[in-house]
């Protein structure tokens, strides 16, 4: 009787896991497909450029910078002086750009070519934000599940996948920093909560890695810089500070050694 009960429980858990994975895949597909309107109606082009350069340089700077990095390498990219940006002064790219967006596209391009999948870097740039919007939904599911429950996580993932404010910053062809940074932000919060709960060095190191990725990708990393110490301060005031929180926080200052954009 006990064996039968355990078998039924395992079967029920298996079905629950299968349904959860299926729903997450559907949410990812909805998040991805809902952002393809401009490509379906018009064509696969970069139709959004750096807001800081909109008046000074009508060229798609993020795409040009990514293509330059792919063609010339990361070292030359960091030392590149772009005469076509910030005209007539020009732009020292290495010290004034958040390279996380370009590195992400370049890495995907490199991996696809390693597997003999020839694809132009422009196509990767066009579809990068919709692809990462699906990953953001999954990261939101993980964060909400960690804070509340699995059902709440699925609802949160579905809502962020179709949130109009997020869609406006991650449509196909909108090649801007928020396309990858929101995913990094959500993953950092999830990993921070997990590291605080478990006290694991592994989760703390992953938190620092995603935090560093966030810093390299978007100036909005200040949200994390402010909220995580604020969370620790509140826990101190509530006298709930313990060794698990210390382990989770001790790795985060490491990202301050990273070169940051002056923009």
Residue finishing a domain among 152, 176, 200: 176
Q: What is the pLDDT of residue 213?
A: 93
- Contacts of residue 68, defined as CB under 8 A and 6 or more positions apart, other chains included, come to 76, 77, 80
Please state the domain count of the chain. Answer: 2
Query: CA nearest 168: which of 157, 179, 155, 181?
Result: 179
Query: Where in the sequence is the domain holding 257, given as residue range(s)?
Result: 178-263
Are residues 205 and 170 part of one domain?
Answer: no
Question: Are 94 and 133 within 8 A, CB to CB?
Answer: no
Are residues 167 and 182 part of one domain?
Answer: no
Banded model confidence at residue 46, pLDDT cuts 50, 70, 90: confident
Are residues 199 and 88 part of one domain?
Answer: no
Are residues 195 and 87 part of one domain?
Answer: no
Q: What is the pLDDT of residue 2?
A: 55
Are residues 38 and 51 part of one domain?
Answer: yes
Q: What is the pLDDT of residues 56-68, one digit of tens each?
A: 443 478 888 999 9
SS (H, E, C) 7-48: HHHHHHHHHHHHHHHHHHHHHHHHHHHCCCHHHHHCCCCCCE
pLDDT averaged over every residue in the chain:
84
Are residues 130 and 112 part of one domain?
Answer: yes
Give the separation between CA 104 and CA 96, rounded to whole angstroms: 18
Are residues 244 and 132 part of one domain?
Answer: no
Are residues 155 and 54 part of one domain?
Answer: yes
Are residues 121 and 91 part of one domain?
Answer: yes
Residue finishing a domain among 176, 195, 210: 176
Are residues 33 and 121 part of one domain?
Answer: yes
């Amino acid at each position: 009787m006990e064996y039968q009960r355990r078998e039924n429980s395992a079967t029920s858990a298996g079905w629950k896991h299968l349904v959860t994975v299926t729903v997450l895949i559907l949410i990812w597909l909805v998040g991805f497909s809902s952002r393809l309107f401009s490509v379906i109606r018009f064509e696969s082009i970069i139709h959004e450029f750096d807001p800081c350069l909109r008046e000074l340089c009508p060229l798609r700077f993020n795409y040009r910078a990514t293509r330059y990095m792919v063609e010339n390498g990361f070292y030359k990219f960091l030392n590149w002086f772009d005469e076509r940006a910030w005209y007539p002064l020009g732009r020292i790219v290495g010290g004034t750009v958040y390279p996380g967006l370009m590195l992400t596209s370049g890495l995907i391009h490199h991996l696809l070519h390693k597997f003999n999948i020839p694809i132009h870097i422009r196509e990767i740039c066009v579809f990068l934000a919709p692809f990462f919007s699906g990953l953001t939904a999954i990261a939101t599911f993980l964060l909400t599940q960690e804070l509340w429950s699995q059902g709440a996580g699925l609802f949160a993932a579905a809502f962020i996948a179709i949130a109009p404010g997020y869609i406006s910053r991650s449509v196909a062809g909108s090649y801007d920093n928020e396309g990858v940074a929101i995913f990094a932000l959500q993953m950092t919060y999830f990993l921070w909560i997990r590291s605080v709960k478990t006290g694991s060095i592994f989760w703390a190191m992953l938190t620092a890695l995603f935090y560093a990725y966030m810093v390299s990708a978007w100036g909005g990393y200040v949200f994390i810089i402010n909220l995580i110490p604020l969370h620790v301060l509140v826990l101190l005031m509530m006298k709930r500070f313990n060794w698990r929180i210390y382990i989770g926080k001790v790795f985060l200052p490491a990202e301050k050694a990273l070169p940051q954009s002056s923009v």
